[in-house]
Amino acid sequence: MNWQNVTIDNIATIKGGKRLPKGHDFSSTESTHLYIRARDIGCGKINITEPVFIGENTFRYISRYTVSEDDIVVTIVGANIGDVGFISIEHSGANLTENAAKITVNKKVCNSKFLKFILANTYTKKRFQYIASGAAQGKLGLFKIKSFDIQLPPLPIQLKIADHIFIL
C-alpha cells in the first residue's frame, strides 16, 4: 500500500468563516439561516445545543461563507483550536463563524470522511495547537491549514477505511 505525504492544500480547498457585519446580530428566533459557532464544533461533529440564526438582511452580507454537506470545519482561534466537525446534510447551507475554517475535499483524490477521521483525533489537535502557538492569542491561520501535512493512502483504501469506521 503506497501512502503519500500530502498537504491539505493538495487535496482540498480551505476557506475561512465570516464575522457578522457591524450592526448585525444573532437571533434565537428560528430562520432559514443557521449560524455555526466555534462552540458547536468538536469530536468530529457539529453539536448545536443553543442554536443562533441570522436574518435575511445579514445573510446577504455573508452568504458566501456557508458550509456544504461533507465539508470539514476546524476551529482556528481560542481555547479549542483544532476542534474538528463534519458537516452533515442537516447543517448544509449554514453560515460559519470567523473562528473556524472549512475544508472542502477534492473527491477525485480524497474521501471527506477519511480526512475527518485523520483530523479529528487528539494527536492532530495537538499538532494544530502547536503550529497555532507563538502569539498572545494563538491562531491557526488558513495558510497553516493549507500547509498541514498528512499521510494519504490511495482513494480505494480511504473508502474502505471510512466505510469501516463509525465516524459520524
Residue 150, domain CATH: 3.90.220.20
Range 37-61 average pLDDT: 95
pLDDT tens sequence across 17-32: 999 999 999 988 899 9
pLDDT at 133 (0 to 100): 85
Report the chain's terminal Cα–Cα distance, integer Å.
Answer: 26
Range of the domain at 40: 4-164
β-pair partners for 74: 84, 101
Q: What is the pLDDT of residues 86-142, one digit of tens each?
A: 999 999 999 999 999 999 999 999 999 999 999 999 999 999 999 998 766 789 999
pLDDT of 40 higher than 80: yes
pLDDT of residue 167 exceeding 50, the answer is no
CA atoms within 13 A on the CB side of 125: 19
- Report the percentage of the chain scoring pLDDT > 90: 88
Other Cβ atoms closer than 10 A to 38: 23
Residue 93 buriedness (CB in 10 A; 0-12 / 13-18 / 19+): middle
Which grid cell sits at 38?
Answer: 466555534
Total domain count for the chain? 1
Give the three cell numbers for residue 17.
468563516
Tell me the C-alpha distance between 100 and 37, whole Å: 8
pLDDT at 168: 45
Which pLDDT belongs to residue 163? 87
Mean pLDDT over each residue of the chain, to the nearest integer: 93
Does the predicted model carry a pTM greater than 0.85? Answer: yes
